[in-house]
Structure 1
């Protein structure tokens, strides 16, 4: 279908953010995705205002004009990022690829859109702020990801079972393929770029002279990640906060790649083995 074309280009653009040799060219397929989206009505012309604002935020945040200009750039980015994450900015007609339906008995209905707005945050953070993408070696990155993922699965899904938020429900529905691609290339990247690559990294730099700085930055980012899940109730905020702490550890020792892999691993375990996204009656 024509509407598939913007998302294929967007997936490619997100994948190109990872290798250093292709990162600088990632904006090319992103521009193609946006051109197709505009041509097919997935995005309206007004939506162009938001990447333009992000460009302005990057120029201010990286400028030599002084701390006031840089602070204004960061404030502008945070405001736009929050609105993009909440899908509150006009001009987007994101494609629904999974119609709402329970994935297992007793689950709340789950549906999914492919989003053109939220991934912009990941591109801004990776290209404008250049957070550490990996540890000094692939082995350290993978070790940090696996340890954090294992801890998150054991603690978060174990606690979710104890709280009655989920139950054991092994499955892999036909929609699992597009769910996995979207989660791997767009969802986890955008969320980890914002909360770990931006919030945790910026606070770590600000508090780097303090012995507690790195840990405080991790805790603040994890708490904000938990609060961002307020729609699921206190149980979901608690679980997300604990997961965010695990992702923060992965980021601290393995870079953004480790955080994304840990996040993806927990999401896959949750999707494939337990009630997803949660039980209908708590």
Structure 2
């Protein structure tokens, strides 16, 4: 059953705020729209008062990493953000009541059940990274961004979906269910942006800044960020860790040459191919 509009409004505001992060001219308004969405979520009971603490800590971390001052202050800010990122990304911090939009759906007869929540916690990572860590948002021009995205998406699709097919994790299953457009909007505006902002715009960028002057440092940064991205998928099993790490390498290369936009487009492209053309999320019994 579709979610009622009042339940969707905080998520819609969050999507709009995320879209405002992309153009530099509208970035300043993103937090205003986010605040409106969160206020509505509070009024609807989707957020508890303790969320104010997490928001305050995010602001403190952002101030610490950007303010001029001793290096220990910046290090403290980064450590605080990493702790908050783990809590928000893994949905461990209390106070967020994320609405379930898809409940244990089976899109093909052999598929494992799939559920999706309209998260109000994890997307905060994208706002912090874009506004506080100032990642590269795009390539040298639109063409460079698009080329990096397409190349990375193609490489990830051949490698990851090819391996998944070969080991029987997924099968060929073209489809577009009625919930597909909601899934696509959530992936395009929130899921891939939050994940790529964290692992490429923050982790990879920070490691590149520290290791980039060493021979092979940039490559190591891509690999380390990809491995962390893979480990974030540990709940799906070792096979998903391996596949996500492989995809993370492609997204990391996309980020290096096309910025955050290229990484997000590559990630969204692979996710959409998986959703629309193959068993999703995977076979109930692989093999």
TM category, shorter:
over 0.9
Report how far residue 68 of structure 1 moved. 0.6
Is 1:89–2:87 an aligned residue pair?
no
SS at match of 1:8: helix
Q: What is aligned with 1:150? A: 154
1:57 and 2:65 are equivalent in the alignment: no
The alpha carbon displacement at 1:208 in A equals 2.2
- Residues 178-212 of structure 1 show CA distances to partners (whole Å, capped at 9, x for unaligned) of 00000000000000000000000000001121121
- The structure 1 residue matched to 2:75, chosen from 71, 80, 84, is 71
After TM superposition, give the deviation of residue 163 of structure 1 in Å. Answer: 1.2
**Partner of residue 234, structure 1:** 238
Report 1:102-141 matches (<5 A): 102-141=106-145
* TM-score for both structures, normalised by structure 1: 0.99
Unpaired runs of at least 5, structure 1: none
Partner of 2:15: 11
SS in 1 for 2:139: coil
Measured in 1, the distance between the counterparts of 2:18 and 2:56 equals: 19
> 1:198 & 1:98 partners in 2: Cα distance?
30
Q: 4+ residue stretches of structure 1 with deviation over 2 A?
A: none
Q: TM-score, normalised by structure 2?
A: 0.97
The residue number in structure 2 matching 1:2 is: 6
Matched, 1:37 2:46: no
**Residues 66-86 of structure 1 deviation map (CA, whole Å, 9 limit, x = unaligned):** 111100000000000110011
Q: How does 1:169-180 map to 2 (within 5 A)?
A: 169-180=173-184
Deviation, 1:48, is 1.4
Gaps of 5+ in 2: none
Note the C-alpha offset of 1:112: 0.5
User: What is the aligned residue count?
Assistant: 282
Deviation of the 1:233 alpha carbon:
1.1
